[in-house]
């Protein structure tokens, strides 16, 4: 039990914050905790949550992916062409969108691993390419999506927002089992100590490639979900989501130095960010002051995370491992 608390301390703190924020939000919302309110909230949170998961997979192996937003834009614009028509066509379309995301991630990974370029620079450049492709696919926002499917995915199941069901499936059917595989373990090992992982016989190169591919896959899932929520394709969404994905993983307790954090933490971080934004909307804070508040909350949250170092008694600890 005590190991559980120490291992998941960051996630537990973040989820505590989320619960408080959400209660305040639902308490102050004029329409209260209705399915309608929850569904809209959940959709916004899950979009960012999925991008944050993409970012998480890059960060956990001590990388960073500045192209997650661009992958999302690319897959969103692609999906806006492919998600209409017969059930088979839509099914194939979804597969195509996911494959596109994985290929984007694989390209990033290959450039990092084989091209030996720093992830931050690689993804900066590939982001430009992905956004370009997205612009070709959708020069201006538009497109059509099968409304029945979009409704099914973005409304609710027996009063529970479908988005939350998706998250639950993701966590219980994907993440928890994945965490118990060699690859799931290997991601952490490579991010925490690539040398240790290598000496333990882990295929470090493959693991890095897999991490960036997973980032691409989740960027595509985010793009797909965004398409269902907005029913349009928009090539201009990249920058905002990229920056917010970094903020989300950091808030969720994922350390940028790699090896620490979890997919659940990334989700919680994204939920916190979006809940704050939603809360602001009904909070009575003048709308002009809201961006400032959001920024300050982000800065304070990050600063609290860094405050540990002030207690360090060995001055060398500041320089990390």
86 or 314: whose CB is closer to another protein?
A: 314
What is the closest distance, in whole angstroms, from the C-beta atom of residue 131 to another protein in the complex?
5
What is the closest distance, in whole angstroms, from the C-beta atom of residue 120 to another protein in the complex?
6
160 or 204: whose CB is closer to another protein?
A: 204
153 or 246: whose CB is closer to another protein?
A: 246
Let me know: does 72 contact 222? Beta carbons within 8 Å: yes
Q: Which residues pair with 160 in a beta bridge?
A: 157
What is the closest distance, in whole angstroms, from the C-beta atom of residue 66 to another protein in the complex?
8
Chain centroid, CA 144 distance in Å = 25
Q: Which residues pair with 157 in a beta bridge?
A: 160
C-alpha angle 52/102/112, rounded to 5°? 80
101 or 191: whose CB is closer to another protein?
A: 191
- 157 DSSP assignment: E
What is the closest distance, in whole angstroms, from the C-beta atom of residue 30 to another protein in the complex?
24
86 or 195: whose CB is closer to another protein?
A: 195
Let me know: does 39 contact 161? Beta carbons within 8 Å: yes
30 or 306: whose CB is closer to another protein?
A: 306
What is the closest distance, in whole angstroms, from the C-beta atom of residue 9 to another protein in the complex?
11
What is the closest distance, in whole angstroms, from the C-beta atom of residue 286 to another protein in the complex?
8
Which tokens go with 31?
A: 């329409």
47 or 190: whose CB is closer to another protein?
A: 190
What is the closest distance, in whole angstroms, from the C-beta atom of residue 315 to another protein in the complex?
5
| Rounded CA separation 110/209 (Å) | 7
What is the closest distance, in whole angstroms, from the C-beta atom of residue 223 to another protein in the complex?
17
| Rounded CA separation 106/140 (Å) | 28
| Rounded CA separation 253/272 (Å) | 12
Which tokens go with 56?
A: 């998480």
| Rounded CA separation 121/118 (Å) | 6
Residues 6+ apart with CB under 8 A from 270: 45, 48, 49, 51, 52, 244, 245, 248, 252
102 or 197: whose CB is closer to another protein?
A: 197
The region, left, alpha or beta by phi > 0 then psi within -120 to 50, assigned to residue 34 is: beta
117 or 155: whose CB is closer to another protein?
A: 117
Q: Which residues pair with 156 in a beta bridge?
A: 161
What is the closest distance, in whole angstroms, from the C-beta atom of residue 126 to another protein in the complex?
6
Calculate the dihedral angle through the C-alpha atoms of 51, 12, 273, 153, rounding to the nearest 10 degrees. 50
| Rounded CA separation 115/118 (Å) | 9
């Amino acid at each position: 039990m005590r190991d559980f608390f120490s291992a998941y301390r960051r996630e537990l703190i973040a989820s505590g914050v989320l619960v408080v924020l959400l209660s305040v939000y639902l308490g102050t919302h004029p329409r209260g905790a209705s399915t309608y309110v929850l569904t809209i909230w959940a959709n916004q949170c899950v979009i960012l949550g999925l991008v944050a998961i993409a970012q998480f997979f890059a960060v956990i192996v001590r990388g960073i992916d500045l192209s997650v937003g661009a992958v999302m834009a690319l897959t969103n614009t692609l999906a806006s062409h492919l998600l209409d028509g017969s059930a088979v066509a839509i099914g194939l379309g979804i597969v195509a969108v996911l494959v596109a995301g994985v290929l984007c991630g694989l390209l990033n990974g290959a450039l990092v691993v084989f091209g030996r370029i720093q992830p931050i620079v690689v993804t900066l450049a590939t982001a430009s390419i992905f956004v370009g492709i997205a612009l070709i696919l959708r020069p201006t926002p538009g497109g059509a999506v099968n409304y029945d499917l979009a409704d099914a995915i973005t409304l609710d199941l027996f009063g529970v927002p479908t988005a939350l069901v998706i998250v639950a499936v993701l966590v219980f059917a994907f993440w928890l089992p994945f965490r118990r595989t060699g690859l799931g373990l290997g991601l952490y090992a490579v991010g925490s100590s690539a040398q240790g992982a290598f000496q333990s016989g882990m295929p470090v190169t493959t693991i890095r490639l897999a991490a960036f591919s997973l980032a691409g896959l989740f960027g595509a899932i985010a793009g797909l979900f965004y398409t269902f929520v907005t029913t349009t394709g928009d090539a201009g969404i990249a920058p905002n989501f990229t920056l917010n994905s970094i903020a989300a993983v950091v808030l969720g307790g994922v350390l940028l130095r790699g090896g620490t954090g979890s997919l659940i933490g990334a989700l919680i971080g994204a939920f916190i960010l979006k809940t704050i934004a939603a809360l602001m909307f009904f909070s009575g804070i003048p709308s002009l002051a809201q961006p400032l508040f959001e920024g300050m909350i982000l800065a304070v949250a990050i600063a609290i995370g860094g405050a540990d170092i002030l207690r360090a008694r060995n001055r060398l600890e500041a320089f990390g491992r």
